[in-house]
Amino acid sequence: MKLRFLLFSCLLLNAINSFSQHAINNSKRFNHFYQYGVADAFIGGLYKGSLTLKELKQHGNFGLGAPNLLDGELIILDGKVYQSKANGETIEPNNQTTTSLSFVTFFKADTSFTVKDELNQKNFSTSIMNFLKDKNGMYAIKITGKFNTVKTRAFPPFSQEPFPPLSTVLDKQQFFNLQNIDGTLIGFYLPGYLNSVSISGLHFHFLSNDKKHGGHVLDYGGSNFRIEIARLYGFQLDEQNDPSLQRFEFKKQVNESLDKVEKGH
């Protein structure tokens, strides 16, 4: 009797473990785009973070974002989160650090190729766009290699509310010119119809292989790059858990055709 009970217990435990692992695997929705925060609100001064990095990691292992009250940029690569700060230091913040705006996915490339020619940001962007079959689609893009140059930037921290809009503190940006450095560009291409809610076009952050340098990318150049692209399907937006969002005055996006249809004339 005891042997039967022991055998039953083992089978039940194995079944529970199998179910739990299956649930974990299913929770990882590869190439599904997750965004926390609203871009226009963030740019308008809503820098206060309210989603922990531990929670963010549940939605993706690849992406980029902004840390609580700024002080640099966030880079998410291979399931780890890095913060490139305004003093030039790049750290791995703890899981309780919060973010005010982030974009992530569980990355799984469906297209990959190597570009050996010497490229700069402008012609490199053109090359990438040629491989994006759906111009109104969403894509995650990973570029690895040795960069001749990478220019990054980071905003300083802010502590006094109300926080100024980012467009009014451009003079406080810190710029970093990196040369002959191995690393990765982590980014997305998002279509124009997502602008204001998200950030349309190509948007990259950089992380060096030694994890000592990073930031928002302004310019880059080099050759012999490995490019991996994943078409994204599905968009999940979680609005920022901040009462200030409900009081924020968004600029009205005028769409005359839609307005006529809605009003019936």
Integer Cα distance of 255 and 39 in angstroms? 19
Q: Where are the alpha helices (DSSP H) in 28-173?
A: 39-43, 53-57, 121-130
Residue 242 CB burial class (10 angstroms; 0-12, 13-18, ≥19): middle
Is residue 97 included in any domain, yes or no?
yes
Is residue 5 included in any domain, yes or no?
no
Which of 133, 218, 111 minimizes the C-alpha distance to 175?
218
Is residue 6 included in any domain, yes or no?
no
Integer Cα distance of 113 and 127 in angstroms? 11
Is residue 201 included in any domain, yes or no?
yes
**What stretches in the chain show pLDDT beneath 50?**
2-3, 5-13, 15-26, 258
For residue 72, the model assigns a pLDDT of: 97
Is residue 258 included in any domain, yes or no?
no
Instruction: State the CATH number of the domain containing residue 233.
Output: 3.30.1330.80
Is residue 66 included in any domain, yes or no?
yes
Please say whether the dihedral angle defined by the alpha carbons of residues 16, 59, 110 and 213, taken in this order, is positive or negative: negative
Which tens digits make up the pLDDT trace of 1-57? 544 544 444 444 454 444 444 444 445 789 999 999 999 999 999 999 999 999 999
Is residue 51 included in any domain, yes or no?
yes
| Residue with the two structure tokens 């999940």 | 236
Is residue 159 included in any domain, yes or no?
yes
For residue 255, the model assigns a pLDDT of: 56
For residue 262, the model assigns a pLDDT of: 55
Q: CA separation (Å) from 189 to 67, 141, 202, 218, 240?
A: 21, 7, 4, 15, 22
Q: CA separation (Å) from 175 to 70, 104, 144, 200, 226?
A: 15, 25, 22, 23, 26
Strands (E), the chain: 33-36, 51-52, 62-67, 73-77, 80-84, 90-91, 98-105, 111-115, 119-120, 138-154, 174-190, 201-208, 214-222, 225-232, 235-238
Which amino acid does the sequence have at 260? K
245 CB contacts (<8 Å, ≥6 apart)?
38, 41, 46, 239
When divided into structural domains, the chain yields a total of 1
Residue numbers of the domain that contains 153: 33-247
End-to-end CA distance of the chain: 80
Q: What are phi and psi of 176, to 5 degrees?
A: -135, 125
Q: Which two tokens stand for residue 155?
A: 């905003």
